[in-house]
Structure 1
Amino acid sequence: MTSISEQLSDALGIMVMGMGLVFIFLSILIIAIGIVAKLFPASEATTATPVPVTPLPVTSNAPGHTGLDPKLVAAITSAIHQYRAK
């Protein structure tokens, strides 16, 4: 049986090796993506073009002009009251 200090040093070595491998892999991946981006630049058709923003029309919030069917509103209200009554 090995001592706790030997086990901790082995665990530390494995941890450093794993973190190093992940760092190397991610670095290679970033470099490869940069190379591919330079070899195959995006064409003008695929780049995002700014879309002009048009303001929404101003609507009044007058009661009775909700645009919803009153029967639907009554059904939803009734369902909520029944659910809360349980």
Structure 2
Amino acid sequence: MNNDISTILTDSAVLLLVGMSVVFVFLTILIGAIHLIEWICNKFPDTELAQGASPVSATATQNNEVSPQVVAAISSAIHQYRNKK
């Protein structure tokens, strides 16, 4: 009986170490991949976004404010959503 408990505890300790090692290795690879993507994006920036042709800037005015049409559309959507309930 005592030997069975010892075997179970040993197996559980090995499983614990293997599981934590796998998680640690996965998270390390994930962090490395994120840093690699950041480095690639900084080294080769997208020319369209660098020139200010993003969808957000297309709806903004010169002062980086949201255009009145966008404000009206959002207000209308909120009003319709609240009236449905």
Per the shorter chain, which TM-score range?
Answer: 0.5 to 0.7
Give the structure, 1 or 2, with the largest relative contact order (CA under 8 Å, sep 6 or more).
Answer: 2
User: Which residue of 13, 20, 27 corresponds with 1:16?
Assistant: 20
Gap runs ≥5 in structure 1: 57-86
Residue 4 of structure 1: aligned partner: 8
Aligned length: 57
Alignment equivalent of 1:35, drawn from 32, 39, 42: 39
Which shifted more, 46-55 or 35-44? 46-55
CA deviation vs aligned residue, 1:40-70 (integer Å, no higher than 9, x gap)? 11222553314134236xxxxxxxxxxxxxx
- RMSD of equivalent CA atoms: 2.5
Structure with greater proportional helix content: 2
Q: Which runs of 4+ in 1 moved over 4 A?
A: none
Task: Quote the Cα distance in structure 2 between the aligned partners of 1:46 and 1:7.
Answer: 58
Aligned-pair identity in percent equals 12
**Counterparts in 2 of 1:4-83, with a 5 A limit?**
4-43=8-47, 44=51, 46-48=53-55, 49-51=57-59, 52-54=67-69, 55=72
Q: Report the TM-score, using the length of structure 2 for normalisation.
A: 0.54
